[in-house]
Amino acid sequence: MKAVFAPKAGPPEILEIRDIPKPEPRKSEILVRVHCATVTSGDANLRRFNRVFLGAVGLIAGFKVMKVPGVEYSGVVEAAGAGVSAFKPGDQVRGTTTGLAMGANAEYVCVPEHPKMGVLIHKAPELSHKEAAAVCVGAMTALFFLRKAGVREGDSVLVYGASGSVGSAAVQLARHFGARVTALCSGANAPLVSDLGAERVIDYRTSDFRDEGNRYDIIIDAVGKLKKSGVKDSLTDGGRFLTVKSMTKEINEEMEFLQDLQVSEELKPVITEEFSLDRITEAHRLVDSGRKRGNVVIPIVTEP
Ligand SMILES: NC(=O)c1ccc[n+]([C@@H]2O[C@H](COP(=O)([O-])OP(=O)(O)OC[C@H]3O[C@@H](n4cnc5c(N)ncnc54)[C@H](OP(=O)(O)O)[C@@H]3O)[C@@H](O)[C@H]2O)c1
């Protein structure tokens, strides 16, 4: 099968398209024909890191070195191990390969029925594989933060870096919970972020929100550029600051929650670029630029 292969750590140019053996599902695994995958900022980080170091850390953290990248996918079950009960061939599924040795930037991927670190759910038939792949780890991260912050109706929420994968989901989810959202992004992305439901959009390149003297119940730094000490005067008493630099968790039930919001069209996938598997290097270059808007998808099977 065709797969993206990272023989070593390095820039996007190290990525190769290789013909590698199609994986075979173990007893508790399913084999998924990947219809659409993505390139996330996490994939770019994995590619960049020193793999020996990552391997040592991985042993402790339970991660494995990933030679085939790709954390997010949507596809169709091709085969199921004898011990699998919830999935059968032909089922449409979506999930992540978090913590697995092989990623989903490939024609096929094997994933456990009960992932230890990632998620796996049935894909709603109303959604395309692209829509499913594009609402995944970024959205789960945004949801994790909003829940941790205890977001409530009427809260004022500031989303810093609102045009990325985490940020674009945070704006929409905060709106879903009834919050009023102020969003920061570059001027060019202001229309996109307004469309997602932000009440106010500030261009962080021309104004510093801290100078306005406004206070927020929740500040979410979706790009990891702020420090808590730098925003404490912009928080209300008891206000909470959350940053993508902290640990999050992938939870199946939360993926189901996000899927329901997608089906009811309260959560839109933000897809601004798509690349074929053969153009994986270009996709990584875009993610490396730090200017990706929303999510970058890699369709592998052409959808009708
Ligand atoms: N994507 C995920 O699934 C995920 C999950 C967990 C954690 N994270 C972490 O979360 C961070 C963001 O990831 P992401 O994928 O959402 O987005 P990203 O691709 O890392 O960032 C893209 C966005 O960042 C904005 N940006 C760049 N420099 C900025 C600055 N100095 N100030 C404010 N905004 C800036 C850009 O918007 P403008 O062009 O409008 O400035 C662009 O839209 C990364 O550190 C990543 O490792 C990501």
What is 15-61 written as a DSSP string?
Answer: -EEEE-PPP---TTEEEEEEEEEEE-HHHHHHHHS-HHHHHHHHHHH
pLDDT confidence of 64, banded at 50, 70, 90?
low
pLDDT at 7: 86
Q: Is the pLDDT of residue 91 over 70?
A: yes
DSSP count for the chain of H helices, then E strands:
9, 14
Here the tokens at position 61 are 């953290």
Give yes or no: residues 217 and 169 share one domain.
yes
pLDDT confidence of 58, banded at 50, 70, 90?
low
- Average pLDDT value for residue range 10-31: 96
Q: How far is the CA of 293 from the centre of ligand 1 (A)?
A: 8
The model's pLDDT over 211-257, given as tens digits with 9 standing for 90+, comes to 999 999 999 999 999 999 999 999 999 999 999 999 899 999 999 99
**Domain assignment of residue 292, yes or no:** yes
pLDDT at 52: 41
- Average pLDDT value for residue range 62-71: 74
pLDDT at 65: 60
CATH of the domain at 231: 3.40.50.720
For atom 25 of ligand 1, the residue with the nearest CA is 161
Give yes or no: residues 234 and 283 share one domain.
no
For atom 2 of ligand 1, the residue with the nearest CA is 138
Ligand 1 pocket, mutate which of 38, 39, 41 (most atoms under 8 A from CB): 41
**Domain assignment of residue 72, yes or no:** yes
The burial of 237, by beta-carbon neighbours within 10 Å (0-12 exposed, 13-18 middle, 19 or more buried), is given as exposed
Q: Which atom of ligand 1 is nearest to the CA of 71?
A: 3
Q: How far is the CA of 220 from the centre of ligand 1 (A)?
A: 12
**Domain assignment of residue 252, yes or no:** no
Give yes or no: residues 118 and 237 share one domain.
no
Pairing of strands 29-39, 108-112: antiparallel
For atom 39 of ligand 1, the residue with the nearest CA is 291
Please, what is the end-to-end C-alpha distance for the chain in angstroms?
A: 22
DSSP SS3 for 189:
helix
Here the tokens at position 243 are 């940053």
**Domain assignment of residue 260, yes or no:** no
Q: Is the pLDDT of residue 46 over 90?
A: no
Ligand 1 pocket, mutate which of 71, 72, 117, 165 (most atoms under 8 A from CB): 165
- Average pLDDT value for residue range 265-292: 96
Ligand 1 pocket, mutate which of 202, 223, 270, 297 (most atoms under 8 A from CB): 223
Q: How far is the CA of 86 from the centre of ligand 1 (A)?
A: 35
d(C-alpha 231, C-alpha 283), whole Å: 33
Q: How far is the CA of 264 from the centre of ligand 1 (A)?
A: 26
Give yes or no: residues 158 and 283 share one domain.
no
Q: How far is the CA of 304 from the centre of ligand 1 (A)?
A: 31
Can you give the pTM of this predicted structure?
Answer: 0.94
Q: How far is the CA of 242 from the centre of ligand 1 (A)?
A: 14
d(C-alpha 22, C-alpha 6), whole Å: 17
**Domain assignment of residue 304, yes or no:** no
- E strand spans, the chain: 2-5, 16-19, 29-39, 72-80, 92-96, 108-112, 120-122, 156-160, 180-185, 200-203, 216-221, 235-243, 271-274, 295-299
Number of domains within the chain: 2
Give yes or no: residues 13 and 127 share one domain.
yes
Please count the residues of the chain.
304
Q: Cβ distance 296 to 275 under 8 Å?
A: yes
Give yes or no: residues 83 and 68 share one domain.
yes
Q: Which residue has the tokens 């996490």?
A: 42
Average pLDDT, the chain: 93
Q: Is the pLDDT of residue 180 over 90?
A: yes
Pairing of strands 92-96, 108-112: unpaired
- CA-based angle 138:200:234, to the nearest 5? 80
Q: Which atom of ligand 1 is nearest to the CA of 41?
A: 15
Find the residues whose C-beta lies inside 6 A of ligand 1.
40-42, 45, 137-138, 141, 160-161, 163-167, 185-186, 189, 204, 222-225, 244, 287, 290-293
DSSP SS3 for 280:
helix
Give yes or no: residues 235 and 279 share one domain.
no
Give yes or no: residues 125 and 148 share one domain.
no
Give yes or no: residues 113 and 49 share one domain.
yes
Give yes or no: residues 108 and 211 share one domain.
no
Q: Is the pLDDT of residue 185 over 90?
A: yes
Q: Which domain holds residue 209?
A: 137-243
